[in-house]
Amino acid sequence: MLPAYAGYLLDYEHDLILVPETLEQIPTAVRYLIRMGYERLAGYLKGGLTAWEVTGRAYDHIGTVHASTLERRIKANKRFTLLDVRKITEFRESRLKNATHIFLGDLQEHLDGIDKAKPVVTFCGSGRRAIIAASILKRHGFEQVEDSLGSMEACESIGCSIKRG
């Protein structure tokens, strides 16, 4: 996701610290970032998130929602925002009922259009962009945030009610 979204989400004026799952990911990530003009690469977290967790330092979390739970909430007209962060072409092709669309790359500029008083479930094609969106929301003070695991792929697999076209 780094080459596709770094330009939308990362600031050139701040130091960047990589949090790779494996050390093998670092050279590729550094190459992508340097090619995009990011020069303030301050380091990496050896051992990834697990290394942070075992230190006992504070960290936040983002809840998850299974596709079947999401489908039940939609059918029951539960009060929440389903935030679809896919590209507009993806959204127009297929979407879930009452989904709100804000492209991931534009999310930080449109946060004021999302009701902080309602729970927000982030959604995309596979869940990878959704977790990024959820972390952006948390960073900006949204407290009730969940990530739809597997997102559209999971919904298609279990037969969710999907609007086409």
Residue 154 dihedral angles phi and psi, to the nearest 5°: -65, -40
Name the pLDDT band for 141 (thresholds 50, 70, 90).
very high
What is the reported pLDDT for 59? 87
On whether both 118 and 67 belong to a single domain, the answer is yes
pLDDT in tens, 125-140: 999 999 999 999 999 9
pLDDT in tens, 93-125: 999 999 999 999 999 999 999 999 999 999 999
On whether both 88 and 145 belong to a single domain, the answer is yes
Question: What mean pLDDT value characterizes the chain?
Answer: 95
Query: Rounded to an integer, what distance in angstroms lies between the CA atom of residue 19 and that of residue 45?
Result: 5
- Residue range(s) defining the domain that contains residue 125: 63-164
pLDDT in tens, 16-37: 999 998 999 999 999 999 999 9
Torsion angle defined by CA atoms of residues 119, 120, 121 and 123, in that order, rounded to the nearest 10 degrees: 170
Number of domains composing the chain: 2
On whether both 96 and 153 belong to a single domain, the answer is yes
Q: Can you tell me the mean pLDDT for 81-91?
A: 98
On whether both 82 and 160 belong to a single domain, the answer is yes
Closest CA to 155 of 100, 99, 105: 99
How far out from the chain centre does Cα 14 lie?
Answer: 21
Share of the chain above pLDDT 90, in %: 93
On whether both 85 and 43 belong to a single domain, the answer is no
Whether 58 is covered by a domain: the verdict is: no
On whether both 37 and 76 belong to a single domain, the answer is no
Query: Rounded to an integer, what distance in angstroms lies between the CA atom of residue 103 and that of residue 54?
Result: 34
Inform me whether the pLDDT recorded for 55 exceeds 90: yes
Whether 138 is covered by a domain: the verdict is: yes
**Cβ atoms < 10 Å from Cβ of 12:** 11
Inform me whether the pLDDT recorded for 71 exceeds 90: yes
pTM for the full predicted model: 0.88
Q: Confirm if 97 and 74 have CB atoms less than 8 A apart.
A: yes
What is the reported pLDDT for 153? 98
Query: Rounded to an integer, what distance in angstroms lies between the CA atom of residue 90 and that of residue 165?
Result: 10
What is the reported pLDDT for 124? 98
Inform me whether the pLDDT recorded for 1 exceeds 90: no
Which H/E stretch holds residue 75?
helix 67-75
